Structures are given as structure tokens and as C-alpha cells.
């Protein structure tokens, strides 16, 4: 069996090479690196399910979430927050 090779150029999506394969090789020519990737269908289903649930939750709570973010925006966009979040303090 052949394994598809994906050339990572940052803007290209090569769906024809991704469909129907469980393994592929991704090549980054610029940095002279590559990686072998294996699909995990069960994990993909979990992620898709969570995404759908998150969209539903957001739709049901959009106004409240917007207000909460607006009231916290000053802190969440502060240098102190990001230093703490990134462990730089």
C-alpha cells in the first residue's frame, strides 16, 4: 500500500490525499522536517460531538456569555492575565 505525502505549505488543503487513508506523511520542506500521522476515527467522533454540543450550548446561552465576557474583557486581555496563564509570572 502507498502512503499519501502532504506538503505543508501553510495554505494548501489536499483533501484528495486525505480521503480514505488512515496514515499519511506530512512534509515541511522549509524546515526540513516531516511526521507520520495516523487518523483516529474514534477521537475525531468525540471531538465532533463535543463541537456540536458546544455550538448548541453557545446558541442557548449567547446573550449571557457575551455579557460575562464583556465584563471580564479588561482582565482577560491584560498583561497580568496572560503572564499568569502562560506561567511567566
pLDDT tens-digit profile of 15-42?
A: 778 788 889 898 988 889 999 999 898 9
pLDDT score of 59 more than 90: yes
Are 22 and 50 in the same domain? no
pTM: 0.60
Residue 17, burial from CB neighbour count under 10 angstroms (0-12, 13-18, 19+) = middle
Are 48 and 78 in the same domain? yes
Domain count along the chain: 2
Are 47 and 64 in the same domain? yes
Provide the terminal-to-terminal Cα distance of the chain, rounded to the nearest Å. Answer: 51
Are 55 and 75 in the same domain? yes
Q: Which domain holds residue 63?
A: 42-85
Are 48 and 79 in the same domain? yes
Are 64 and 76 in the same domain? yes
Are 30 and 48 in the same domain? no
Residues 84 and 37: their CA atoms lie apart, in Å, by 33
Amino acid at each position: 500500500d502507498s502512503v499519501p505525502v502532504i506538503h505543508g505549505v501553510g495554505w494548501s488543503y489536499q483533501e484528495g490525499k486525505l480521503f480514505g487513508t488512515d496514515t499519511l506523511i506530512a512534509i515541511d520542506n522549509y524546515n526540513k522536517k516531516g511526521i507520520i500521522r495516523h487518523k483516529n476515527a474514534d477521537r475525531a467522533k468525540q471531538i465532533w460531538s463535543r463541537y456540536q454540543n458546544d455550538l448548541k450550548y453557545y446558541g442557548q446561552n449567547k446573550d449571557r456569555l457575551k455579557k460575562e465576557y464583556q465584563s471580564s474583557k479588561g482582565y482577560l486581555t491584560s498583561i497580568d492575565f496572560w503572564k499568569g496563564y502562560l506561567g511567566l509570572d
